[in-house]
Structure 1
Amino acid sequence: MGTHTAPPAPPLGLREAKKQESRQLISDAATRLFLAQGFEQTTIAEIAAAARVAKKTVTNYFPHKEDLALDRQDAFITSLAGTVSGRRPGESALAALRRAFTEALAATDPVAGFSGPGFARMTADSPTLTTRLRDLHDLREAALAETLAEATGVPRDDITVCTAAGLLGTVHRVLFDRIQQLTLAGRSTARIRTEVAAAAEHAFDLLEPSLADYATA
């Protein structure tokens, strides 16, 4: 019997590409099932079968079932904090967030709430996803507070930081919910943009008297 030589390990880039491909296949299979039969009614075993992988493979990539449905969680949690961190010279936190929301609205960004009617209905019908979404809004507000504290050089529990993060987080939460509500009501994307743009203008205006110059870069 000849000596067996193991093939060289693939480059890290190739291994990572294969992992991303597997992750996407699982995510796509889960999304199809969730939309077809509902989040609560779909099991990990069904997702694994649809993706042609083992259940353990699914949970290795997605430790919690909610992770399969809300796969933009990290981007969502860091979105407001990242906008404030990257604000332009002379731009306040409010101005930066207002500008970023306008851009997200134009781009129909899923992080802003543009998920499509099927996904919006699936989320609304699932107590698990509804609860997780509330948690994500809270985590996003907490991340924003951390960034505002760093930007203004005060402790994280400073009352101004907590209040500012709460106000700014709430505006984005309200606008996210408005987009979801209009989506469920069957409004077109163009109409949602128009209605939410007007709502955002009013909502951000309400914060101008107190936060116009807060955390200016």
Structure 2
Amino acid sequence: MTQQGLRARKKQQTRQQISDRATELFLARGFDRVTIAEVAAAADVAKMTVTNYFPRKEDLALDLGEVYIDQLAAIVRERAPGQSALAALRDAYLTAVAAHSQLIGFSGEPFARMIADSPALTARVREFHDDRQAALAATLAAETGADPGDITARVAAAQLAGVQRVLFDEVSRRTLDGESNAEIAAALTRDAEIAFDALEPGLGNYAVR
């Protein structure tokens, strides 16, 4: 491994260590009751190191935010030849349900409760949803050769991301109600088919590669 590769690996390990210690504190005491200084002490790093990796406190708990924002756009960019954006997103979602993926809300009751109990975290999750929709709209425009502000791409993104948002909220609700991951997955498999089927008439032939 090159020196640059070693540095990158070390930075990722430090970032993960900070996030892990922060999450432990947040789960034990509640997000709003933990300070950045306490996270730094738990991770054995300087307070400035924490803020360099995580400029916003909320992102200490939601450290997959960047991946989440790009998730739908990435699925569309990587769809198979002949596949529509809707079909690609449907297939990817059902795969994620079967895998109990964190990116669609399978986080466990303590983590879901931590978010629900914190207005700051709840607001940050809403921002992620909004940013993800915008990223999807930009990708749909690019993939269909439309202008970046094309209304068709934005309307399609609103519907495709909106379905995902409804399903995400459903996973969270069921998690907070104490359902097991297996129970949630069974319900979401059914709900996802209903949700994506509702979009088929308008988007079934949109953004076909």
Indicate whether 1:127 and 2:116 are aligned. no
Structure number with bigger Rg = 1
Q: Distance in 1 between matches of 2:180 and 2:71?
A: 25
Match in the other structure for 2:98 = 106
Over the matched positions of the two proteins, sequence identity in percent amounts to 57
Asked if the contact 1:113–1:176 (Cα under 8 Å) also holds between the matched residues in 2, the reply is yes
**CA deviation digits over 1:40-95, x for unaligned, max 9?**
11100111111122111111111110110110011100110011111111110100
Q: Distance in 1 between matches of 2:125 and 2:50?
A: 21
After superposition, the Cα gap between the structure-2 partners of 1:157 and 1:14, relative to the gap in structure 1 and judged at 3 Å, is: closer
RMSD over aligned Cα atoms: 1.1
Match in the other structure for 2:107 = 115
1:91 to 66, 80, 83: 83
Letter in 1 for 2:172: Q
Asked if the contact 1:30–1:47 (Cα under 8 Å) also holds between the matched residues in 2, the reply is yes
2:27 to 22, 28, 35: 35
Letter in 2 for 1:145: A
Greater helix content: 2
Q: Distance in 1 between matches of 2:155 and 2:178?
A: 35
Match in the other structure for 1:54 = 46
Q: Distance in 2 between matches of 1:152 and 1:14?
A: 40
Q: Distance in 2 between matches of 1:118 and 1:215?
A: 39
Q: Distance in 2 between matches of 1:192 and 1:72?
A: 21
Q: How many residue pairs were aligned?
A: 208
Match in the other structure for 2:143 = 151
Q: Distance in 2 between matches of 1:191 and 1:148?
A: 33
Letter in 2 for 1:179: V
TM-superposed CA distance for 1:20, in Å, is 2.0
Q: Distance in 1 between matches of 2:6 and 2:91?
A: 38
Asked if the contact 1:98–1:204 (Cα under 8 Å) also holds between the matched residues in 2, the reply is yes
Q: Distance in 2 between matches of 1:14 and 1:87?
A: 33
Scaled by the length of structure 1, what TM-score is found?
0.93
TM-superposed CA distance for 1:33, in Å, is 0.3
Indicate whether 1:190 and 2:182 are aligned. yes
Match in the other structure for 1:178 = 170
TM-superposed CA distance for 1:169, in Å, is 0.7
Asked if the contact 1:145–1:162 (Cα under 8 Å) also holds between the matched residues in 2, the reply is yes
Where in structure 1 do 4 or more consecutive aligned residues deviate above 6 Å? none
Match in the other structure for 1:208 = 200
Scaled by the length of structure 2, what TM-score is found?
0.96
Asked if the contact 1:156–1:162 (Cα under 8 Å) also holds between the matched residues in 2, the reply is no
Q: Distance in 2 between matches of 1:211 and 1:168?
A: 9
TM-superposed CA distance for 1:151, in Å, is 1.3
User: Is the partner of 2:31 in helix, strand or coil?
Assistant: coil
User: Where does structure 2 lack aligned partners over 5 or more consecutive residues?
Assistant: none
User: Where does structure 1 lack aligned partners over 5 or more consecutive residues?
Assistant: 1-9
